[in-house]
């Protein structure tokens, strides 16, 4: 059994009681040392790990996470895999258009995350994610600041602008 020093579970801003209940059911069978369950407006209050309905930012928890289990929202999924943290993604079937299936399907096909399609198999999905064979998300250089600089440099002005993204 792989040790999970810090497990972060997040459902985002909507309720996802099924996921929180499933996590409560498997944490005792996993080697989880610490963690946080962010459970939003759900009815089920987690019992297996410390929990908060909402937190101002997930950044401090991402910084220490060994594994993240999360809903299939694009923002959360890309944030987690972009940081190189193993992710088990679970689509919230309450979403009206099932767009989370599309997000998780694409990222799973590229082996960036493990898509848990059936919560009764959550423990297996965690084991698979912790096995260490997920593919990191490619880092593409962002050239937007240079593009804006070139555009602004061509404007008729008597002085050069100090651009905030260049203050660093």
DSSP character at residue 126: H
Per-residue confidence (pLDDT) for residue 144, from 0 to 100: 80
Tell me which residue of 90, 72, 100, 88 sits closest to 2, measured CA to CA: 88
Per-residue pLDDT tens digits for 110-153: 999 999 999 999 999 999 999 999 999 887 777 788 888 887 77
Per-residue confidence (pLDDT) for residue 31, from 0 to 100: 96
Per-residue pLDDT tens digits for 36-80: 999 999 999 999 999 999 999 999 999 999 999 999 999 999 999
Residue 1, pLDDT above cutoff 80:
no
Residue 164's pLDDT band (cuts 50, 70, 90): low
Per-residue confidence (pLDDT) for residue 151, from 0 to 100: 79
Between 158 and 110, residue with greater pLDDT: 110
Between 93 and 20, residue with greater pLDDT: 20
Measured between alpha carbons, how far is 7 from 37 in angstroms, rounded to an integer? 8
Residue 154, pLDDT above cutoff 80:
no
Residue 161, pLDDT above cutoff 90:
no
Per-residue confidence (pLDDT) for residue 162, from 0 to 100: 60
Beta bridge partners of 70: 10, 89
Per-residue confidence (pLDDT) for residue 94, from 0 to 100: 78
Q: Which domains, ranges and CATH numbers included, belong to the chain?
A: 3-130 (3.40.50.2000)
State the DSSP string of 68-102: EEEE--HHHHHHHHHTT--EEEE--TTSTT-HHHH
What is the pTM assigned to this prediction?
0.83
Q: Are 46 and 23 in contact (CB under 8 A)?
A: yes
């Amino acid at each position: 059994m792989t040790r999970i020093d810090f497990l972060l579970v997040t459902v985002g801003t909507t309720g996802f009681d099924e996921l929180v209940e499933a996590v409560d059911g498997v944490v005792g069978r996993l080697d989880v040392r610490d963690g946080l369950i962010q459970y939003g407006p759900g009815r089920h209050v987690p019992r297996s790990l410390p929990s908060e309905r909402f937190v101002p930012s997930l950044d401090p928890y991402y910084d220490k996470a060994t594994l993240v289990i999360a809903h299939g929202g694009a923002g959360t999924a890309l944030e987690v895999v972009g940081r190189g943290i193993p992710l088990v993604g679970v689509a919230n079937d309450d979403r009206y258009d099932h767009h989370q299936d599309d997000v998780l399907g694409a990222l799973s096909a590229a082996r960036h995350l493990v898509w848990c399609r059936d919560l009764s198999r959550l423990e297996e999905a965690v084991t698979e994610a912790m096995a260490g064979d997920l593919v990191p998300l490619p880092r593409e250089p962002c050239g937007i600041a240079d593009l804006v600089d070139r555009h602004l440099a061509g404007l008729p002005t008597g002085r050069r602008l100090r651009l905030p993204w260049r203050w660093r």
